[in-house]
Each structure stands twice: as structure tokens, then as C-alpha cells.
């Protein structure tokens, strides 16, 4: 965790993926259709304080959010939902801070916060990796 925060001094973005260095940044999988997952995720995001839903493109599975930090910086967050099978969906998140300085780990924490909310609501459908 310390290493991740030190990297955040110079990095101003974070993303999840199949080959993520940290287990908590790995792609999430749920045993739900893309349609069901989409509806649940959008509902969750709309209820999260501090997050503003800017754009939804259901056909390509993309959700764009914005979050203002305590210091007034803005983070742009893009979530992508992929249909793996008709009954299995994957979610990846990319979060980036506006400006030239590092994020001090805030994009990492934003991803964790979003996944925590989704995992809690969809716990019965989450697949362990």
C-alpha cells in the first residue's frame, strides 16, 4: 500500500484490468447479464455521494462519472461493462485526475470505493478470481 501511495505522488491515473499489479485492481466479474449489471451499477452510482453521472452509453457499456476531491481537484472516471457470456459481465474502471500533479493515491481509492459499493450490492453474483 505504501508503494502504491508513493507511486501516486507522480501518477495521476489508475485503472483496473486482467493483469493488474494489485489484486484489488483486477477486473471484476459478475454472474449477471450485461443488462442486469448495467441497471444495478447505474442505480448504485446515482446514490453515491460526491459522484456525478455525466454520460451513459448503454450500447457500448460505458459510464462516465466525475468526482470532486476535498482539495477541489476533479477526477474523471470511466467504467466499462463487457458481456463475457449472456449471463456473465465484467467491469473495468479508469480514473484520472485533472491537472499535472500526482493524485497521492486518490484514483486508487476511488476505484476501491466504487468496487466496494458494487461488490456489496452484487455479492451474491460476484465471481472470485
* Cβ-count burial 5-27 (b if 16+ within 10 Å, e if not): eebbeebbebebeeeeeeeebbb
Helices 106-121 & 34-47, crossing angle to 10 degrees? 120
User: Would you kindly state where each structural domain of the chain is located, as residue ranges?
Assistant: 2-127
| Alpha helix ranges (H) inside 19-121 | 34-47, 106-121
pTM: 0.89
Residue 27: predicted pLDDT: 96
Q: May I ask the CATH class of domain 2-127?
A: alpha beta
- How far apart CA 41 and CA 29 sit, in angstroms, is 13
pLDDT in tens, the chain (129 residues): 445 444 445 678 899 999 988 888 999 999 999 999 999 999 999 999 999 999 999 999 999 999 988 778 899 999 999 999 999 999 999 999 987 677 778 899 999 999 999 999 999 999 976
Amino acid at each position: 500500500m505504501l508503494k502504491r501511495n508513493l507511486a501516486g505522488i507522480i501518477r495521476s491515473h489508475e485503472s483496473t484490468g486482467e493483469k493488474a499489479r494489485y489484486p484489488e485492481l483486477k477486473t471484476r466479474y459478475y454472474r449477471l447479464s450485461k443488462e442486469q449489471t448495467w441497471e444495478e451499477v447505474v442505480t448504485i452510482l446515482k446514490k453515491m455521494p460526491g459522484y456525478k453521472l455525466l454520460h451513459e452509453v448503454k450500447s457500448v457499456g460505458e459510464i462516465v462519472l466525475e468526482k470532486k476531491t476535498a482539495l477541489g481537484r476533479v477526477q474523471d472516471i470511466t467504467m466499462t461493462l463487457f458481456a463475457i457470456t449472456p449471463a456473465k459481465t465484467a467491469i473495468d474502471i479508469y480514473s484520472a485526475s485533472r491537472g499535472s500533479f500526482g493524485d497521492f493515491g486518490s484514483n486508487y481509492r476511488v476505484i476501491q470505493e466504487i468496487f466496494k459499493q458494487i461488490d456489496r450490492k452484487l455479492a451474491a453474483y460476484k465471481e472470485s478470481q
